Amino acid sequence: MLIKTHASGFNHPVPSEITPQGIYHGRRDLIKLMATGAAGAAMAGWAGRQAMAQAVQKPGKLATLAGGKSAVAGAVTMEKVTDYKDASTYNNFYEFGTDKADPAKNAHTLVTKPWSVAVEGLVKQPKTFTLEDLLKLSPQEERIYRMRCVEGWSMVIPWVGYSLSELIKKVEPLGNAKYVEFITQADPKTMPFVGSRVLDWPYVEALRMDEAMHPLALLTFGMYGEVLPNQNGAPVRMVLPWKYGFKSGKSIVKIRFTDKEPRTAWNKAAAQEYGFYSNVNPNVDHPRWSQATERRIGEDGLFAKKRKTLMFNGYEAQVGQLYAGMDLKKNF
């Protein structure tokens, strides 16, 4: 096909085609400059619109949490950002119900103040951080990531947070720390479905140490320029854009460093369906459905064909080397 659409998937550019980082980072300034009149009145309207296009609209519902520019490669996708309404009403957060509309209806009972996160296990400096400590630990950055759910749908969400590696460096993991385990809140009093037999509570997720240290692995406190809504995992969660959404634990209360691969919640529920890695991979199907395509929420209308899913959700250039030499069919 000569005419490329999103359906033809992600093509790697050759190095000579890649825009130098400096020019890329200056693109908005360039457009703004045009908008101020340098390019003439006729162009100004167009340029002004372009400058607005990726400026994330704050929904004005919760406290502001601004994130600065990120220097991390792959931190900001230029794809159209999903509507806040969709991102905050279509959620999987089983502690509040299994229907995707449930968390938005039920999560108001979650108590996020006071909140603390215990960091423990194989580290030199175990410590319990209050949320306030964590918020200040490193500068907040805006990261616009693709999010691909294992169920076959996706969104583009502007998160606010900083690389988990910043926290890891502070607590100084010991040499034998090979994995990082994320234990999330499980309070039957405020989370009505904790106690249902759907999963083994608390919801636990984990990463290999090198995955956890990857700069794209985001310790997340906000989205759309505001603090996280409860249904999206307030007050602190992980976001791992190259893995299926369920790997990104919500409402985290404990981070533990271990030497053995932890058993994660979905792996315990169905090991043959949900592997430890759960990297987005269009070539390895879920045993019960294809992972080759996805529906972009709010964009691919009823009659549109689903779009192709990208290897590592389009972050192959950044994270591919973490899995070099691994059989991804076996280590799914």
Partner 1 sequence: MAARQKWLLHPAAKPILFVVCLLPFAWLFYGAFTNQLGANPAEALIRATGDWTLRFLCIVLTVTPLRVITGTSALARFRRMLGLFTYFYVVIHLLSYSWFDMGFDFADIAKDIAKRPFILVGFSAFVLLTPLAATSFNAAIKAMGAKRWQWLHKLVYLIAGLGLLHFFWMRAGKNNFAEVFVYAAIIAVLLGWRLQQFLKKKRLQPTYGMGRKLS
Binding of partner 1 at residue 10 (CB under 8 A)? no
Binding of partner 1 at residue 302 (CB under 8 A)? yes
- Length of the chain, in residues: 332
State whether the Cα torsion 263-266-267-268 is positive or negative. Answer: positive
Quick one: 114 or 303, whose CB is closer to partner 1?
A: 303
Binding of partner 1 at residue 32 (CB under 8 A)? no
Binding of partner 1 at residue 290 (CB under 8 A)? yes
Quick one: 154 or 184, whose CB is closer to partner 1?
A: 154
Quick one: 208 or 306, whose CB is closer to partner 1?
A: 306
Binding of partner 1 at residue 5 (CB under 8 A)? no
Q: How many residues interact with partner 1 (rule CB under 8 A)? A: 24
Task: Tell me what percent of the chain is helix, strand and coil, each rounded to the nearest 5.
Answer: 30, 25, 50
Cβ of residue 125: shortest distance to partner 1, in angstroms? 39
Residue 241 is encoded by which pair of tokens?
């854009």
Binding of partner 1 at residue 297 (CB under 8 A)? yes
For 299, counting Cβ atoms within 10 Å of its Cβ (0-12 exposed, 13-18 middle, 19+ buried), the class is: middle
Amino acid code (one letter) for 219: L
DSSP state of 139: -
Please give the backbone phi and psi of residue 279, each rounded to the nearest 5 degrees, phi first: -75, 145
List 197, 260, 329, 330, residue binding partner 1 (CB under 8 A): 197
List 8, 36, 98, 130, residue binding partner 1 (CB under 8 A): 98
**Tokens 């996706």 sit on residue:** 154
DSSP state of 272: T
Cβ of residue 197: shortest distance to partner 1, in angstroms? 7
List 39, 118, 198, 317, residue binding partner 1 (CB under 8 A): 198
- Rounded to an integer, what distance in angstroms lies between the CA atom of residue 203 and that of residue 7? 34
Binding of partner 1 at residue 48 (CB under 8 A)? no
List 73, 269, 271, 326, residue binding partner 1 (CB under 8 A): 269
- Rounded to an integer, what distance in angstroms lies between the CA atom of residue 271 and that of residue 306? 28
**Per-residue binding letters, 101-140, with partner 1 (x by CB under 8 A):** x---------------------------------------
Type and span of the H or E element at 116: strand 116-121
The CB density around residue 199, as the number of other CB atoms within 10 Å, is 18
Quick one: 161 or 233, whose CB is closer to partner 1?
A: 233
Cβ of residue 332: shortest distance to partner 1, in angstroms? 15
Binding of partner 1 at residue 6 (CB under 8 A)? no
Q: How far is CA 218 from CA 46, 138, 156, 199, in A?
A: 34, 12, 15, 25
List 61, 289, 321, 331, residue binding partner 1 (CB under 8 A): 289
List 199, 219, 223, 238, residue binding partner 1 (CB under 8 A): 199
Which of 23, 17, 97, 12 lies closest to 317, judged by CA? Answer: 12
**For 50-68, what is the HEC assignment?**
HHHHCCCCCCCCCCECCCE
Quick one: 98 or 128, whose CB is closer to partner 1?
A: 98
Quick one: 82 or 140, whose CB is closer to partner 1?
A: 82
| Binding-site ranges for partner 1 (CB under 8 A) | 85-86, 89-90, 94, 98, 100-101, 153, 197-199, 269, 285, 288-290, 295, 297-298, 302-303, 305-306
